[in-house]
């Protein structure tokens, strides 16, 4: 039952989007509405703009900022999470502050970030880092703290060095939770990316969507939204592939346990 053929996998992946597109297509076929043009009109625009004329000018800058911000957040979140996860007392002292900062919507800091960093790339990347670092940080702390005390005793009695404890015990143990946090971070990072582009210097999908709307080029606006959706979907898929590869042991173990014995 668990081993599905590839075509059935693909079917379950695409049936809902295909159905939705079909409904949209026919429902909007003879649309006279200015704001909701026919999907066929949008499709023509989409092909003209995004396959692949604007990829280097709009998508690439967006993607670059998102990836730089995300990677910085991953590095900062894991490093800080390691320290706080290992230093229980420090973590307890800083917990309220972290909870407060996390609960503050990062995009609310846009105005101050614009004052500090201007409206260019620095501001946009900073906002992305500021928004995405929290789920990674908090999940890393939890993951580090969930290290089994028996493994700690193993490390102690076998004189496993501090660096090796981190590399071979603490981090792998926390990895499933770190990945879960990073996945959330990636999704909200896209939101931060779009919003920062809407208020900042030209370039990027967010800017394109807002600019098209302001120029009353409604079909173009719709194509931007669709392109954004596709980008998000692809990034999430890519992340999933990476996760499955790095956490192969984790998925293997879970499948093994659910399968019930050897």
Site residues, other proteins (CB under 8 A)? 148, 150-151, 153-154, 156-161, 164, 168-169, 172-173, 175, 249-250, 252-253, 256-257, 262
CB nearer to other proteins: give 68 or 247: 247
CA 25/CA 20 separation, integer angstroms: 8
CB nearer to other proteins: give 10 or 254: 254
CB nearer to other proteins: give 21 or 169: 169
Q: Interior CA angle at 134 toward 133 and 135, to 5°? A: 105
CB nearer to other proteins: give 9 or 167: 167
User: C-beta of 197: minimal distance to other proteins in Å?
Assistant: 39
User: C-beta of 79: minimal distance to other proteins in Å?
Assistant: 20
User: C-beta of 242: minimal distance to other proteins in Å?
Assistant: 16
In 3D space, the residue among 12, 32, 24 whose CA is nearest the CA of residue 225 turns out to be: 24
| C-alpha distance from residue 241 to each of 64, 179, 244 (Å) | 20, 12, 5
Return the half-sphere exposure (C-beta side, CA atoms, 13 A cut-off) of residue 49.
22
User: C-beta of 146: minimal distance to other proteins in Å?
Assistant: 12
CB 250 within 8 A of CB 175: yes
């Amino acid at each position: 039952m668990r081993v599905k053929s590839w075509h059935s996998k693909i079917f379950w992946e695409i049936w809902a989007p295909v159905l939705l597109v079909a409904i949209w297509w026919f429902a909007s076929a003879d649309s006279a509405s200015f704001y909701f043009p026919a999907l066929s009109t949008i499709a023509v625009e989409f092909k003209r703009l995004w396959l692949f004329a604007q990829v280097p000018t709009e998508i690439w800058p967006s993607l670059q900022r998102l990836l730089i911000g995300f990677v910085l957040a991953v590095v900062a979140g894991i490093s800080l999470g390691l320290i706080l996860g290992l230093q229980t007392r420090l973590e307890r002292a800083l917990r309220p502050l972290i909870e407060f900062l996390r609960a503050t919507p990062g995009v609310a800091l846009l105005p101050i970030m614009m004052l500090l960093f201007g409206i260019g790339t620095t501001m946009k990347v900073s906002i992305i880092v500021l928004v995405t670092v929290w789920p990674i940080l908090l999940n890393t702390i939890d993951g580090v703290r969930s290290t089994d005390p028996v493994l700690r005793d193993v490390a102690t009695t076998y004189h496993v060095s501090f660096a090796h404890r981190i590399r071979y015990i603490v981090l792998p143990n926390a990895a499933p939770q770190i990945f879960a946090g990073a996945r959330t971070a990636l999704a909200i990072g896209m939101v931060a990316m779009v919003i920062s582009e809407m208020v900042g210097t030209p370039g990027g999908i967010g800017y394109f969507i807002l600019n098209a709307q302001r120029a009353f080029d409604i079909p173009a606006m719709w194509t931007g939204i669709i392109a954004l959706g596709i980008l998000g979907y692809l990034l999430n898929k890519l992340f999933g592939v990476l996760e499955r590869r790095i956490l192969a042991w984790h998925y293997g173990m879970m499948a093994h346990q659910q399968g019930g014995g050897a």
